[in-house]
Amino acid sequence: MSELIKKVTQLLNDKTVDVFIGYGKGSADRIRAIFVRSAEQTEKLVLNSACTQNLAGYILKQEVKHLGKIGVLANVAALRSMLQLASEFQVKDGEVLALFANPDGTLTEFIDFHSIEVFLTTTDTGITSDEQERIAQLEALTVSERWNFWNKEFEKCIKCYACRAACPMCYCHRCTTDVNQPQWIPVASHERGNLDYHLMRAMHLAGRCVNCGECASACPMDIPLNLLTYQLISPIKTGFGATAGMKADAVYALSTYKPDDKENFII
């Protein structure tokens, strides 16, 4: 903790970064993102097990960018978000400085994408066993049982778009949902609108999702949205050998192909 404060103070003092995005104390027992812009503000930094939010989403926010060079306290998901964003030409190498807090309290500083790539090769980036189990449970159901499950979940959706706003990969200036010539996804949060929206979002995140879980934790109606995209991680990995957010120069799995891609359903 003191390590972090010391480091961020130094980064701000020698102007390596102008703003450092870290965690601070929030309401009640919550943790929130804070934007540290001076050495005095570093006192507000907090680091504990509740610090799970993927802060990489903020590095693309217009008003944060205006503050100057960004440093960010990145967890594994945030590091992967950065690489994925890099592969989609949203961040340039060296543009954002990332600090990673090791379990032993030390800090690892990443100033370029290469070091993140190397670091991630020895890091567990998979989804949790709990999440795996939930997916397995759903997969064990019949198709119509799954339809009913999702129907019930989507019924709760109020289309507040918190999932989209919280997702570091949902950075489009105009989301497909908001494209209205023609209006492809119904804006209404009725069954059809919700089904369309969530399937569209899952499909657009297939091969890009870095399993940070922000969508599900942002959802005020507690819809397990992350399962939709998590479920696609494994077929994309086994089928095409691709995992999102591991290489800064990766080619998006769904914008490329291999002549011998395996399938068993095309006649």
Partner 1 sequence: MQEFEPKIVAFVCNWCTYAGADLTGTSRIKYDANVKIIRFPCTGRIDFMILMKAFENGADGIIVSGCHPNDCHYSTGNFHARRRWIVFRNLLNFAGIETERIQFSWVSAAEGFKWADVVNNTVKKIREFGPNENYKKIAVSTLFNEEGTSNE
Partner 2 sequence: MEQQNIYQPYLMEIEKITEEAPMVKTFRLKFTNEEEGNNFSFRTGQFGEYSVFGEGEVTFCVASPHTRKGYIECTFREAGRVTTELASLNEGDTIGFRGPYGNIFPIDDWKGKNLLFIAGGIALPPMRSVIWSCLDQRDQFKDISILYGARSVADLVYKQELEEWKERPDVNLVTTVDPGGETPTWKGDVGFVPTILDRMKPVSENTIAIVCGPPVMIKFTFPVLEKYGFSDDQVFTTLENRMKCGLGKCGRCNVGKVFVCKDGPVFSRTQLKDLPDEY
Partner 3 sequence: MEKELKILKYSDLSKLIERFHAKGFPVLAPVRKGKVVEIELVESLGDIALDVLLSTQSAKKTAFPKVEKVLKYTLAKSGVTQHPVDPDTARETILFGVRPCDASGFKSLDAIFGEAPGDQFYLKKKEKTAIISFSCPEADEYCFCTSVGGGPGNTAGSDLQFTGIGKDEIFVEILTEKGKQIAAIFADLLSDSPAGIDKTKFLADVKVVFDSDKVVENTSASFNNAALWLEQSLRCIGCGACAFVCPTCACFDFQDEQNTKQGVRLRLWDSCGFSLFTLHTSGHNPREVQSQRWRQRIMHKFSYMPQQLHVVGCEGCGRCSRACPVDMNIKEHLTAIAQVG
Number of residues that bind partner 1 (CB under 8 A): 44
Which one of residues 37, 61, 149, 189 is an interface residue with partner 1 (CB under 8 A)? 149
Considering only residues 94, 105, 220, 235, which one is a binding residue for partner 1 as defined by CB under 8 A?
235
Binding to partner 1 by residue 150, rule CB under 8 A? yes
When CB distances are held under 5 to 8 angstroms depending on the partner's kind, the choice from partner 3, partner 2, partner 1, none that residue 59 binds is: none
Task: Fill in the per-residue mask, 166 to 205: x = in contact with partner 2 (CB under 8 A), - = not in contact.
Answer: --------------xx-x----------------------
* Identity of the residue numbered 26: G
145 binds, among partner 1, partner 2, partner 3, none (CB under 5 to 8 A by kind): partner 1
Does the protein bind partner 3 through residue 141 (CB under 8 A)? no
Measured from the CB of residue 196, what is the shortest distance to partner 2 in angstroms? 17
From the list partner 1, partner 3, partner 2, none, partner contacted by residue 181 (C-beta under 5 to 8 A by kind): partner 2
d(CA 10, CA 237): 40
Q: Which two tokens stand for residue 191?
A: 């069954």
Torsion angles phi and psi, residue 160, rounded to 5: -85, -10
| Residues 164-203 interacting with partner 1 (rule: CB under 8 A) | 176, 184-185, 190-192, 195-196, 199-200, 202-203
52 interacts with partner 3 by CB under 8 A = no
Are the CB atoms for 70 and 57 separated by under 8 Å? no
Residue 120 backbone dihedrals phi, psi, to 5 degrees: -70, -25
Q: Closest distance between partner 1 and the C-beta of residue 197, in Å?
A: 11
DSSP string, 110-174: E-SHHHHHHHHHTS--S--HHHHHHHHHHHHS-HHHHHHHHHHHHHH-----HHHHH-TT---SS
What is d(CA 223, CA 135) in angstroms, rounded to the nearest whole number?
A: 14
Dist CA 222 CA 31 (whole Å): 19
Looking at the Cβ atoms of 181 and 264, the one nearer to partner 2 is 181
Q: Which of the choices partner 2, partner 1, partner 3, none does residue 6 contact, using the CB cut-off of 5 to 8 A by kind?
A: none
Residue 55 CB contacts under 8 Å (≥ 6 apart), including other chains: 21, 22, 23, 33, 72, 73, 74, 75, 78
Give me the least distance between CB of 181 and partner 2, in Å please: 5
DSSP states of 13-44: HTTS-SEEEEEEE-STT-EEEEEE-SGGGGGG
In the numeric block, the tokens 């960004």 are attached to: 70
Contact 224, 134 (CB under 8 A): yes
Q: 32 contacts which partner out of partner 1, partner 3, partner 2, none, CB within 5 to 8 A by kind?
A: partner 3
Contact residues toward partner 2 (CB under 8 A) are 180-181, 183
Contact residues toward partner 1 (CB under 8 A) are 138-139, 143-151, 176, 184-185, 190-192, 195-196, 199-200, 202-203, 206-207, 228, 231-232, 235-236, 239-240, 253-259, 261, 263, 265-267
